[in-house]
Amino acid sequence: MEPRVATAPCPTKVGDVASNVEDFTLSLDEILAAVDKIEKQVNEIEHFYQSTSNIQTSSNSKGCSKDKGREKQFISAERQQQNALRREAAAAKRMQELMRMFSTIFRQITQHKWAWPFLEPVDVKGLELLDYYEVIEKPMDFGTIKSKMEAKDGTGYKNVREIYADVRLVFKNAMKYNDEKNQYHVMAKSLLEKFEEKWLLLLPKVAEEEKRLQEEEAEANSDMQRAREATYANMARELSSELLEVDKDLKNLKEMVIQKCRKLTSEEKRILGTALAKLSPENISRALQIVAENNPNFQATAREVDLDIDAQSDYTLWRLKVFVKDALEVNEKTTADTAFNNNDITEDKKNGSKRKRDSCDAQAKTNTKRTKKVSIL
């Protein structure tokens, strides 16, 4: 694209300037707004894929195998939600069964003849245990555990390990506060041993359920990731189409602006022809491509090309004019920089001259191969 073309509308009638400029500005504002929107979406997509790449790299560095689920089709958001609800319901049912099994253990422990000191909260005030809360950070008792196990308002235990931890805490608190020879310490230690023995019988089922939950969570996360990837892939495809539309709009806008411009004079055409002859082989090829874009019959890649300036459309001539101007400006800057650098060379002139001759000879050979014969008519 040569955006500078679109910055110099030149209507032939002064009275049309305001209308033309207003139309041009509105069109340009719409394109810029679309480009800004596309840029934000592109940044979002890039950020997503960059984050995904970092996660995958981290997983691979830890020796994790690649996600086989990527071979599956992604699951829609609605389907994911349905699956999640089913998994949660099934997991809750299995956990309730584990809790039921644990309640049997709990009942056996609480019915033991030595369980009576632990059935209710410690009467700190009545027993005048002034330092109890300094020693015990979290008091616990069987009565509190039972109430939480039976809670229906959402404040109850969520899994069996939470109950297990609180039961152990009852005994650990008693052993921590009381000396080893104290009866409460002895009773707590004995009950803890019995409780651990019974817990070990249930533990394999608890571990199996925890492993299953981890696998289901990993699968759910994988489904969610695939769904997000599909969403961003669709977004990328849509952006590709939008970019094509923006490119088309820009081309139409440039054409509209150039059509509003005056025709080049004979003198300007002559100057343009002279300037074309000064272009490098690469820029000559690009200039010929500009001509070919609006003239399908023009053979831009032929070894010998006849370019009739007068036969070109105003649109093509204005594009050539802007392109040639920019190309020559770049060439002049490059030449000036090269001359400046050459003036700084003060040592090894002989070798420098030889390298320069070799470079020139090589460049001449290259130009001989690349240069095509172009006749400006």
Position 207 pLDDT exceeds 70: yes
Task: State how far the alpha carbon of 316 is from the alpha carbons of 5, 260, 294, 323, in Å.
Answer: 11, 13, 7, 10
Residue type, 310: D
In this prediction, residues 281-300 reach a mean pLDDT of: 82
Reported as a pLDDT band with limits 50, 70 and 90, residue 121 is: very high
Tokens linked to 24 = 């041009």
pLDDT of residue 336: 66
Whole-prediction pTM value? 0.48
Integer Cα distance of 184 and 24 in angstroms: 91
Interatomic CA distance for residues 316 and 291, integer angstroms: 6
| Averaged pLDDT for residues 191-201 | 96
Pairwise CA distance, residues 250 & 83, whole Å: 47
Q: Distances from the Cα of 39 to the Cαs of 34, 53, 218, in angstroms? A: 9, 21, 33
Tokens 């019988």 found at? 201
Give 322's Cβ-side CA count (13 Å radius). Answer: 16
Highest mean pLDDT among 20-34, 187-201, 203-217, 322-336: 187-201
User: Which tokens go with 72?
Assistant: 């599956």
Q: Does residue 80 have a pLDDT over 90?
A: no
Tokens of 146: 């039972």
- Across the chain, mean pLDDT equals 78
- Tell me how many helices (H) and strands (E) the chain has: 10, 2
Give the confidence band of 367 by pLDDT, cuts at 50, 70, 90: very low
Higher pLDDT, residue 89 or 344: 89
- For residue 357, is pLDDT > 60? no
As a whole number of angstroms, the distance between CA 209 and CA 92 comes to 11
Q: What is the pLDDT of residue 374?
A: 61
Q: Are 220 and 83 in contact (CB under 8 A)?
A: yes
